[in-house]
Structure 1
Amino acid sequence: MQNILIIGFDTRNIVCSAKRAGYTVCSIDAFRDHDLRKCTYASALLECRDPRELRKLDPARILERMEGFGLDFDAVVPGSGLEYLDCRNFPCPVLASSPQAVREASDKRRLAKRLETLGIPHPACYSPEETDAIEFPVMLKPAAGGGGIFNRVARNREEFQAVLEEFSLLDPTGETDIMVQEFLEGTPSSVSLLATEKEALSLAVNEQLIGTPWLSRMPFAYCGNVTPFRTEHAGEMEKLAEELMLEFGLLGSNGVDFLLTEKGPVVLEINPRFQGSLDTVERATDLNLFEAHVNCFRGEIPEKPSVKRFAARGVLYSDRELFIDRTLMDVILGEESADIPCSGSVAGPDEPLTSLFACAPTGEEALHSLKEGAERIKDFIDREMEKQGEYLSPAGKT
């Protein structure tokens, strides 16, 4: 196995892991960032930035782009946003869990029912129509996908109706299935795992950065990870995550999101695919996750890796529409960064601008280093705004 196609909304972390493992990699995603292009034999743009559109994507469009790369592919690996893609007509194996297993694990409402049956702690769930039964506060979110950017909290019935109206404006078609979930306080975290048909192995427990104000204006946006997350509940979380992998029949690299509350860990959702924590798990353990993922489909699973350092990733979001010129790109390249936008591209308001990394003896030191890097980039943008009056995409320049 040598030639790999990786497809998804944002594939950079998977692509670069595969490249480090020695594979010849092609990619189709919605960003085609600078560092992704450096790691690929060839890449193509997925002209689709809406999760609803991704779920309706015709596999024939992927097949056309595959032929254009001029390689005989040995395998396809789907990433975020394309977990549901019907790959039955692909000319090579697809290294992913079965579509049925992915659907069952991804749907938050189905998951809640299964967790209830298994006796695993999880937030109480309601249908939007069950207004009389709802106990506030609650979290409203899409039943599948989202990355936290659409999550909203309602603390009473008036706020509940206002959020429903907001969702109807965001999706006038009414196709998005909305889930209402008990709102709990705690520390967002996750477990990264590998699984074969017979066994599952927890690799690391990660603290999640959610709505971190120096990275994003959105209160529930995914902003990165710190690996490892030191907690007395780590063993319990790993055991629950491994149980869920085998229960749902998931394969390869997967993740389980938790909220660590005063009463202990609560399962929030399953990510049946590579996760955003891939970077920090690899940097903290020196394990190549892509190679480990491939080996799972041969029935092989590694020994549990030891954690050698704390690794942090921060996803910095743009707070305005930004035209990425070469100067700004060079500022980002001057940091320990990834997901580096190409010169001439545009980052919209509240869209990811770049990812920053830090490794340190403690999680606090790693986070401090991330924050300093984020502030340097934001300060540069603010200075340019003051000098130029604007730092927007000039008409015709894109």
Structure 2
Amino acid sequence: MEKLLLIGINTRSMIESGLKLNYTIYSTSYFSTSDVPLIKNQKIILDESKNSDCGVFEDQFNSENILNVSKDYLDEVDYIIPISGISPNDFEKKHQKKILGNKDICKVEDKYKFYKEIKNEFLTPETFYVNDVDEAIEIQKNNPKVQYIVKPLKGSGGYNTNLLNNPSQLQLNINEKLIVQEYIEGINLSSSVLASKNEAKNIINSRLLTQHDFEKNSQFKYVGNILPLTEKSILTPIKNIDDINRKMEDSSEKLIKKFKLIGSNGVDYILNKNGLYVIEINPRIQGTFECVQQALGINMLEAHIKACQNEIISVDNPEYYSYKKIIYSPQTMRYKKINLNNIYDMPHLESITRKDEPLLTIIDKDKDFDKLYEKVELASQIVNKLAKKAQVSVK
């Protein structure tokens, strides 16, 4: 069988789907979850059996480290699928040739280049490239009536994204290349698109969730998704949902074709009274991976591979709602077993998860949206309550 390497921050869900296909699966990931399938060819950076403290993700994660650890795999396998945390541009050219997916994503990955490419065709927030924090603050001073946010020039998941109203927060990002972007208040949405060399097909839209949606604070970390996008799942009184879905489908397919992307890609939007603002493209398999599989009854890894090989699979209407919610630990805590049947990406028993770091993921499905929402929110309450009880202190 041909050999396929899955490489990124967390490959658990991808391995599960890959094992159903006719490939010998290899994996390199940063996180070690207790529910990741154990396979012969597997490397994990964060070894909790030796160090029970998982630390702070932003301080420890390094994509170069994952690539260095994977050197022998990169030479051995026939194909490579990079997921979140690894850019195709990080690979040497000889290994880039093996990638199933987009190889050159410079104009998408660089948020300022992306803005310049689309600003005359699509509604999108005004964006500036800045050399330092002082320059970012100067932009705000010159436009006092506009609220801005500061983001890394490259990156995903909402990490290190802050409202530009607290200069002390921005010192954390002083060594990063930054953009200043007009802050758009509205509803976060996302679409999932499969693309071949000649075709782009939007297969489903979702309500994208950030910490800001739940806590109304200035944190914009990715929390999850609910799909498909309906009057209920959008979580806001909206009546023209069919029109919104059509506009998302049209814009997403045009964007994917414009940048000549292939495989599974995501397009993120913010909706408000002015319309749909294009925020960014995720040129890889997205965080909606398992939700799409549950709602549509397909293997998303297979769909991605086939699209890269110039075949778009047939997709029926969704049979289920699916809801994914990432729980960030409310306290620094030592993990104890939690008896719920809809939790994934669990830490190893007795390992320590720092406050505000990802603890686990709740994923569930139901044909009834209200029942699904109730199940996931109840599980969320239980996990947070148990996490607070398991609080520990670390140096």
Is the 8 Å Cα contact of residues 87 and 94 (structure 1) preserved in structure 2? no
- Residue of structure 1 in register with 2:4 after alignment: 4
* 1:93 counterpart (89, 94, 98): 98
Is the 8 Å Cα contact of residues 8 and 66 (structure 2) preserved in structure 1? no
Residue 347 of structure 1, CA deviation: 1.4
- Residue of structure 2 in register with 1:311 after alignment: 322
Matches of 2:157 and 2:292, distance apart in 1:
19
Matches of 2:213 and 2:262, distance apart in 1:
35
Instruction: After superposition, give the CA deviation of every residue in 1:251-294 in whole Å (9 maximum; x if it has no partner).
Output: 11110001111122111001011110111111000011100111
Instruction: After superposition, give the CA deviation of every residue in 1:299-349 in whole Å (9 maximum; x if it has no partner).
Output: 11112331111000110110222222xxx2x31x52311112122432121
| Letter paired with 2:266 | G
Matches of 1:362 and 1:194, distance apart in 2:
27
- Residue of structure 1 in register with 2:109 after alignment: 106
Residue 22 of structure 1, CA deviation: 4.8
- Residue of structure 2 in register with 1:294 after alignment: 305
After TM superposition, the structure 1 = structure 2 runs for residues 227-266 of structure 1, keeping only pairs within 5 Å, are 227-230=227-230, 231-232=241-242, 233-266=244-277
After TM superposition, the structure 1 = structure 2 runs for residues 49-60 of structure 1, keeping only pairs within 5 Å, are 49-50=57-58, 54-57=62-65, 59-60=67-68
Deviating more after overlay: 89-98 vs 354-363 = 89-98
Matches of 1:178 and 1:91, distance apart in 2:
27
SS of the aligned residue for 1:306 comes to coil
Residue 365 of structure 1, CA deviation: 2.9
Q: Does 1:360 align with 2:370?
A: no
After TM superposition, the structure 1 = structure 2 runs for residues 8-23 of structure 1, keeping only pairs within 5 Å, are 8-23=8-23
Residue 212 of structure 1, CA deviation: 5.8
Matches of 1:218 and 1:22, distance apart in 2:
45
Is the 8 Å Cα contact of residues 32 and 44 (structure 1) preserved in structure 2? no
Q: Does 1:121 align with 2:127?
A: no
* 2:155 counterpart (120, 145, 148): 145
Residue 41 of structure 1, CA deviation: 3.3
Matches of 1:42 and 1:363, distance apart in 2:
39
Q: Does 1:76 align with 2:80?
A: yes
- Residue of structure 2 in register with 1:197 after alignment: 197
Matches of 1:287 and 1:50, distance apart in 2:
33
Residue 185 of structure 1, CA deviation: 1.7
Is the 8 Å Cα contact of residues 30 and 61 (structure 2) preserved in structure 1? no
Matches of 2:66 and 2:347, distance apart in 1:
27
Matches of 1:148 and 1:61, distance apart in 2:
26
| Letter paired with 1:97 | N
Q: Does 1:43 align with 2:42?
A: yes
| CA distance 1:176–1:338, shift in 2 (3 Å) | same
| CA distance 1:55–1:27, shift in 2 (3 Å) | closer
| Letter paired with 1:77 | I
Matches of 2:268 and 2:181, distance apart in 1:
15
Matches of 1:16 and 1:189, distance apart in 2:
27
Matches of 1:192 and 1:359, distance apart in 2:
18
Matches of 1:216 and 1:42, distance apart in 2:
43
Is the 8 Å Cα contact of residues 335 and 373 (structure 1) preserved in structure 2? no
After TM superposition, the structure 1 = structure 2 runs for residues 368-379 of structure 1, keeping only pairs within 5 Å, are 368-379=374-385
Is the 8 Å Cα contact of residues 188 and 269 (structure 2) preserved in structure 1? yes
Matches of 1:181 and 1:212, distance apart in 2:
17
Residue 18 of structure 1, CA deviation: 1.5
Residue 42 of structure 1, CA deviation: 3.5
| Letter paired with 1:75 | Y
- Residue of structure 2 in register with 1:62 after alignment: 70
- TM normalised by structure 1 equals 0.84
Q: Does 1:380 align with 2:383?
A: no
Matches of 2:216 and 2:22, distance apart in 1:
35
Matches of 1:97 and 1:126, distance apart in 2:
26
* 2:340 counterpart (334, 341, 344): 334
SS of the aligned residue for 2:90 comes to coil
Matches of 1:294 and 1:223, distance apart in 2:
26
Matches of 2:41 and 2:66, distance apart in 1:
21
Is the 8 Å Cα contact of residues 227 and 284 (structure 1) preserved in structure 2? yes
Matches of 1:221 and 1:97, distance apart in 2:
25
SS of the aligned residue for 2:292 comes to helix
Matches of 2:187 and 2:375, distance apart in 1:
21
Q: Does 1:351 align with 2:322?
A: no
Q: Identify unmatched segments of 5+ residues in structure 2.
A: 47-55, 231-240
Matches of 2:257 and 2:61, distance apart in 1:
30
Instruction: After superposition, give the CA deviation of every residue in 1:330-382 in whole Å (9 maximum; x if it has no partner).
Output: 31x52311112122432121111011122122434322211100111222233
